[in-house]
Amino acid sequence: MKVQMARPFLYALLIGCLIQSAPACAETLRLQRDGPLARDYFNKLEWMRCSIGQVWQDETCQGEIKMLTVAQAEQISAVMRENWGGGWRLPTVKELKGLIQKNVEAPKIDQQTFPNTHQGSYWTSDQSFYTDQYFWTVNFYTGQLYNRFFYFQENAVRLVRDYNLN
C-alpha cells in the first residue's frame, strides 16, 4: 500500500469501526497486515511480521528463528536499512511490550499478525538502568519484561521502523 493511500484506507477503517464493537475496532485499527509487514496506525510503526531468520512465504513465517546478540541484531538492522529502505531498528521496550496479548496462550502475541513467533525473549534497544551491559527483553512465553540479559547473550529479534502516514 502506498503511503498516499494510507489516509483513505484509515478513514474506511474508522467508518467500519462505527458498526463494530469497541475491542474489535481497536485491534482492527491498530495492526493492519500487508504481506510481510504489519502497520500499527496508532503508534505509527511498521513491524516485520517474521522474526529474523524466518521468511514470509505462503502467508506465514517459515524457517528457523536466529538467536542473536545485540551486536548481531544491530548488524542485521543495518543490512535491512540498506536493502529494504531506511529506518529498520530494534524496537524500544515500550514498543515491543505493546505487542503482548495477555489473555492468549503462549506465545502471547497476535499469532495471525505474527505467525510462528518464538516463545521466549526478544531483544529491545533499551539498556537496563542497572548497568550498560544489560538490555531489556520482552518474553512472549510469559508476557513479562526482563532487564537482566547481557548484551552478548542470544535472543530472538523482530525489527520495526517508524511509519509516516503523510
Continuous segment of H or E residues that includes residue 146: strand 145-150
More confident position, 149 or 25: 149
**pLDDT, tens digit, for every residue of 96-111?**
999 999 999 999 999 9
Q: Evaluate whether 13 touches 29 at the Cβ level (below 8 Å).
A: yes
Question: From residue 31, how far is each of 10, 112, 132, 142, 149 by CA, in Å?
Answer: 11, 11, 32, 22, 29
User: What are the structural domain ranges in the chain?
Assistant: 49-162
Picking from 85, 145, 73, 22, the residue whose alpha carbon sits closest to that of residue 30 is: 22
What is the C-alpha separation between 147 and 37, in angstroms, rounded? 28
* pLDDT above 90: residue 18: no
Share of the chain above pLDDT 90, in %: 74
What is the C-alpha separation between 153 and 161, in angstroms, rounded? 24
The pTM (predicted TM-score) of the whole model is: 0.83
**pLDDT, tens digit, for every residue of 63-101?**
999 999 999 999 999 999 999 888 999 999 999 999 999
What is the C-alpha separation between 74 and 100, in angstroms, rounded? 23
Q: Which of the listed CATH numbers 2.60.40, 3.10.400, 3.10.100, 3.10.450 matches domain 49-162?
A: 3.10.100
**pLDDT, tens digit, for every residue of 121-147?**
999 999 998 888 999 999 999 999 999
pLDDT at res. 130 = 86
Question: From residue 47, how far is each of 91, 114, 136, 160 by CA, in Å?
Answer: 9, 9, 19, 4
